[in-house]
C-alpha cells in the first residue's frame, strides 16, 4: 500500500511539473531530466549550449543542441517554456498564419504541398504511414493552406502539428 501511495505522489509531482512547464533558460540539469527523452547527458548538453550561446528563444533553437533531434523536440514542445512563453512557436500578430508558418524554416524544412512520402518523413512526428496519409489527403482534397491544416489528415493531431516548428512549409 505504501509503494502505491508513493507511486501516486510521484506521478502527481511529474504531472504538476509538466503543467507548469520547464523553463529551459533557467532549468537545472535535474529539472531538465524530468522532460521525456532528456537524460543526464542531454540535460548537460542543453545547459552547456545555453551557457555558450545564450538563451533559447523557441523549441526550434533546441535542435542545435547535440543529441536533440526531431523526436525529442516533438515530445518536449508542450512541456517547455522560454522565459514565460510556451515552447510552441508563437502566432504572428496579424493572426493570418499558423504558428508553424510563423516559425523560421529550418534548412530541412519540407513543403508539404510538393513533397513525396519519403521526403515528408524528415518532419518530426511524421513516419511512413503518416507521410502516405498526407500525400493521399493532398491528392484527394487539394493543397494545405498552412501547416496546421495537417490536422485534417487522419492520425495527425494538435500534438504533431505543435511539434513541427520550422520543419514544415506550404509555399
Confidence of residue 96 (pLDDT cuts 50, 70, 90): very low
**Percent of the chain at pLDDT above 90?**
18
Domain spans in the chain, listed from the N-terminal domain onward: 2-86, 99-169
Of 90, 31, 30, give the one whose Cα is nearest residue 59: 90
* Domains 2-86 and 99-169 equal at CATH topology level: yes
Asked which of 1-5, 22-26, 78-82 is least confident by mean pLDDT, the reply is 1-5
Calpha distance 87→89 (Å, rounded): 6
Q: Which residue has the higher pLDDT, 107 or 167?
A: 167
How would CATH label the architecture of 2-86? Orthogonal Bundle (1.10)
How high is the mean pLDDT of the chain? 77
Q: How far is CA 20 from the centre of its chain?
A: 17
Domain 99-169 = CATH 1.10.3720.10: no
Confidence of residue 133 (pLDDT cuts 50, 70, 90): very high
Q: How far is CA 132 from the centre of its chain?
A: 21
Question: Which pLDDT value is given to residue 7?
Answer: 53
Q: Does the pLDDT at position 126 exceed 90?
A: no
Mean pLDDT of 11-19: 45
Rg (CA), the chain: 17
Question: Which pLDDT value is given to residue 109?
Answer: 85
Amino acid at each position: 500500500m505504501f509503494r502505491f501511495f508513493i507511486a501516486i505522489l510521484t506521478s502527481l509531482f511529474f504531472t504538476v511539473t509538466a503543467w507548469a512547464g520547464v523553463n529551459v533558460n533557467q532549468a537545472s540539469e535535474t529539472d531538465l531530466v524530468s522532460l521525456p527523452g532528456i537524460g543526464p547527458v542531454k540535460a548537460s548538453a542543453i545547459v552547456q549550449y545555453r551557457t555558450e550561446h545564450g538563451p533559447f528563444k523557441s523549441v526550434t533553437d533546441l535542435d542545435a543542441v547535440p543529441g536533440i533531434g526531431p523526436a525529442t523536440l516533438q515530445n518536449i514542445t508542450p512541456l517547455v517554456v522560454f522565459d514565460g512563453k510556451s515552447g510552441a512557436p508563437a502566432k504572428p500578430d496579424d493572426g493570418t498564419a499558423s504558428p508553424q508558418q510563423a516559425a523560421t524554416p529550418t534548412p530541412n524544412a519540407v513543403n508539404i504541398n510538393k513533397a513525396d512520402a519519403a521526403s515528408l518523413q524528415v518532419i518530426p512526428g511524421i513516419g511512413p504511414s503518416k507521410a502516405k496519409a498526407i500525400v493521399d489527403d493532398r491528392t484527394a482534397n487539394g493543397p494545405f493552406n498552412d501547416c496546421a491544416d495537417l490536422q485534417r489528415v487522419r492520425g495527425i493531431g494538435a500534438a504533431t502539428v505543435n511539434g513541427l516548428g520550422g520543419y514544415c512549409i506550404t509555399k
